[in-house]
Chains A and B, each alone.
Chain A
């Protein structure tokens, strides 16, 4: 039987970090075959059946998606498990298959790079509404092209009318219109699809009769050439050698209102003249226009990372150092945390929840729970309180729409919790936490935590979260500013509880206080709401009966 990658949920193009079996191996049901790594967690793909691996179709480093073939398994006859009278034959087969696996190894090497090929083909391209400045929900007053039309780069496709001006939406590529996504009267926003365009071939025949043919680079034999030729015979095609500025549309280039010296400059800089805005007399492209185009392109290219840089320091100058590689999960989670930090305006609200009564209750139930093999942690109660509070504050289980224009409120309560594992931080998600009582929550917490530690989390276990809790209570410290697990809009940080003298109006009494830190996305949640949320959460943590109440 063929074993394929199971449904990975939102993930695709996931990297295989480890191949746990080889051809010839005998595996049992649920034995792990390979380890995958998404940007949220690593997970093992188990074998759906017992059998012998006859061929492994992936390598460590392969990138796979749901449905991709992992291994070919020779299913064992059900009775084979019981009848152990054929080990000799089996081991003979093992050797045989191992040999054939070695033979076929070079064959599946290329499969490891599936992304390389399709890029070369001309694929229909979606043209979207560009950034309109302050406008949204703008009306289409005219559609300037029809399906089947050939358009040139920068040709207007539709005309929009905002309350301040009318404007054309141009196509960035030349090609033929495959599909129109809007009609007159449609109201559109930046990013909305306008049309599907099949880009035309870059090189059209030249006007002056010079024979021209789209040339296939022929690297195989070029390698014969001595390597020291000035630019190196291999890296010859300038249009591909300059991906930074992009591929030149030769037809548009040959029509640009630019003198020979400007064309020469454009070639040197790899600029597609057809895309340069002409600023000279009578619409001529000047050298300043070409330079401005390059500057703008460079600026746009690095806009995302246009942050002031942290100085690099040669630490070894000041004393002995040691280099330790970041774990894979750290490498992946780092940019995600950074993205959240720079994209979401974070505010953190702190509070102390009185959990004296709650802790009493927990201690009284602990032993009984332990006998049922459930570790009744404070986090299970906190989670229950969070569910109850989230029910009252829907913004806290929302996300901003991609265009930033809408709030998407989620009517489900999948709660993430940060789990510390030897490989780094992962965030398993407890599904439908609202349908679980504290015992069930505690059970789920324990089960997911142990799977996280063992890298056995599945795709479903790490996605779909609505709100995240990061608990450092078991370690220590009081108050911190957790980073929101974007696109969620809030995260609760929990620190270690301690007894504090609390004044009840007449006297001080020792109360067990739990430090809470709520970071929220200020674009979605305002300070008053956050204060109300955390206050309500604190109250709820004090309402032991509510927390323990049977689920409806």
Chain B
């Protein structure tokens, strides 16, 4: 390829943020080129993240429910797992979605170039692929180059030591697995492997699972997995990981560390993700990158170079696809001349564990730490008919209202489908709803969504599904 005429917009990275930005900009009449280093579109989310993990989590869920149904008189017997077929099914879902993206790009006349993009100047990007090197000249650019799993420095290379991508490959089922990192990614993979019959241990450096989430929301999950997992080691540091013939030898240090080093068949390292900000040639473009590798952006997603935008994982936490897609639309709209800003007030977080944990807005820990006055309304799912009918009683819904304005400022849910339920709370926060707005909205019965209305009623003091002594 030779040097083409400058394109209106280059989008670097075709993850959820990147392809959304490219499509939105194309729909707004821009001439768009999308650069992606992997052979398929969709980025981490579609290929090695959200989607394949959710497919496997669904399989895990089916296994669990089949097992639990023995409690109410339906026994399926011991499941037979065809790992190859499961893997193919998962890959089929991914393939269907990435193919879909390909045709969406084609319909919009978005030029897709596969190769690794690197800035060579404020208006030029070189793209290196197997076919050679080409240069793209652009008027504006949206950087959506994402993040990568954080590597533990000096870690030995061994097929039995994997990151989340390797874990999703599902090559075989080890007898036991150590998950290093008790965050969302580690716990989701632990959920899958445990359901597939693997003995799982989790080690987490901080004092809690899922740091950043309120303790009362994590508690039902922690209680459930405590009896199922071989070990959950909190406040514990991994001091060494050595590959031996018999397995991976891991030594620990800390509060709940075992006395001796342990041997595991497999180790999954899920200690977070790192921005790719230092891998795009930011210097050549003159874009500011902070110490953690994040590109600094303003409310319109502009970097220090106003004609270069950045969105998604590469601009900071939380590294979530739905944040990236929203930012992608903002950037695309601004690039095409609209006056859009990133004005979303909250970004919901979800752990697709069993039970699911979801939260949005201000957490209770945060409110306490920052001295934000709040009123709490929480509802235990043990009093929800629907939850009991699903065979689960450990869930909880919690709403936090600003003490002064009465508006909803935060919500947390743990239990079945918490991730689907949290959207109502997010909408309520964006609209500035108070407890009456939520409580007086008729929620269908019997659903889990009722627990949001009940929580609001608790805050209002109008709840009838619980008996609360008068204050």
Contacts and interface: CB of A to CB of B under 8 A. Distances in A.
B343 to A, nearest CB: 4
A259 B306 CA distance: 28
B290 A233 contact: no
Interface stretch (A98-106, A160-168, A213-221, A330-338): A213-221
Given A257-B432, A259-B431, A260-B430, A211 B296 contact: yes
Interface stretch (A53-61, A261-269, A404-412): A261-269
A225 B307 contact: yes
Contact of A264 (B316, B343, B347): B343
Interface string B122-135: 11000000000000
A299 to B, nearest CB: 22
Contacts of B288: 213
A311 interface: no
B298 A212 contact: yes
Interface in B321-364: 323, 327, 334-347
A210 B331 CA distance: 14
A223 B310 CA distance: 20
Nearest to B123: A225
Interface string A211-250: 1111111100110111011110110111000000000001
A222 B307 contact: yes
Most buried by B among A236, A259, A267: A236
Nearest to B28: A230
Given A212-B297, A230-B30, A259-B432, A222 B305 contact: yes
Interface string B66-83: 000000000000000000
A282 interface: yes
A270 interface: yes
Interface of A is mostly: loop
Interface string B425-469: 000001110100000000000000000000000000000000000
Interface string B287-325: 010100010111110101111000000011110000100
Contact of A236 (B307, B343, B345): B307
Contacts of A270: 339
A397 B26 CA distance: 71
A531 interface: no
A218 B305 contact: yes
A254 interface: yes
Interface string B84-128: 000000000000000000000000000000000000011100000
A502 interface: no
Given A230-B337, A236-B306, A250-B299, A211 B316 contact: yes
Given A224-B122, A224-B123, A238-B339, A208 B344 contact: yes
Nearest to B432: A257
A217 B306 contact: yes
Contacts, number: 118
Given A263-B343, A267-B343, A230 B307 contact: no
B139 A257 contact: no
B6 interface: yes
Contacts of A228: 139
Most chain B CB neighbours (cut-off 10 Å) among A208, A238, A253 = A208
A10 interface: no
Contacts of B340: 264, 267
A203 B300 CA distance: 13
Contact of A282 (B302, B306, B346, B434): B434
Interface in B121-154: 121-123, 139-140
Nearest to B346: A208
Contact of B139 (A209, A226, A234, A259): A226
B240 interface: no
Contacts of B337: 230-231
Contact of A254 (B294, B315, B343): B343
Contacts of B343: 253-254, 260, 263-264, 267
B385 interface: no
Contact of A218 (B139, B306, B323, B434): B306
B8 interface: yes
Contact of B123 (A216, A226, A259, A284): A226
Contact of A230 (B123, B299, B302, B336): B336
23 contacts: A203-B298, A206-B299, A208-B346, A208-B347, A210-B297, A210-B315, A210-B327, A211-B294, A211-B296, A212-B299, A215-B304, A216-B304, A218-B304, A222-B305, A233-B139, A236-B302, A237-B306, A257-B405, A257-B407, A260-B430, A263-B343, A267-B341, A270-B339
The 3 closest A-B CB pairs, nearest first, are A233-B307, A229-B139, A211-B316
Given A209-B316, A230-B336, A267-B341, 17 more contacts: A203-B298, A203-B299, A215-B298, A215-B306, A221-B122, A221-B286, A222-B122, A224-B122, A225-B123, A230-B30, A233-B140, A238-B341, A254-B345, A257-B407, A258-B432, A263-B341, A264-B340
